Structure 1
Amino acid sequence: MRFHHFAIEVKDLETSIAFYKKYLGHHEEWRLLFQDENIVFLAYNDFRLELISRGKRSVSQGVHICFEVDTIHEVIKNFKEDGIIAIDGPYKLENGWETVFFKGPDNELIEFLQIQGISLPLSK
């Protein structure tokens, strides 16, 4: 078994597509209409993000999505250039990882995690 995709319900499909393309480097892989839902799959390497929209209605997000990045400071800089400020962090965790949180277009919580160069203790 392997991971295939993560799904987020969004109000405005085109706004969300533009957001994930610009800030996370995704490309559009596939669109479909299933029952009353417009669905778009975005891809970045082996990772897929499924955006689901039923129009402009309110959506509720109770989850977050996390992307591992080489440097969170570059992510923070890129968002800040467009006036988007982190809602939480950046933090350095006990194990040396660094993390920061932003909100997406539909208030979905997006975490960026830097673990590169961090050596973790081996499990006993």
Structure 2
Amino acid sequence: MRFHHLAIEVKDLETSAAFYQKYFGLKEEERFLFNGEKIIFLKADDFRLELISSTEQSSSNPASVHLCFEIDSIKEGTKPFIENGIFAIEGPYKLDNGWETVFYQGPDNELLEFIQVGGKAD
């Protein structure tokens, strides 16, 4: 398992992207629309920042930050959760870019995302 990205919800996607590019030297890696949210990934070396702008505030999880871990296989990587009766709160989803993602809630209601960016399909 590897840390993949930190995500924050922002009010103005373009303003936030410009800020992190100017002051942190991050470069735009990718942008897309997913489930009504506009998303930009910014990257520097092995660090990724996901900026999320949504037209709706999530009522199921008011947190504005989530942690994402890259795993080789969604099915295998989430097996310990399922075996212990902890089920995904969202997903799994297959994104247009080929990534697979699923969300769980941690013990203090933190949002944990697991993402498979390559390798075998589950």
Q: Structure 1 length as normaliser, TM-score?
A: 0.45
TM-score with structure 2 length normalisation? 0.45
User: Which structure has the larger Rg over C-alpha atoms?
Assistant: 1
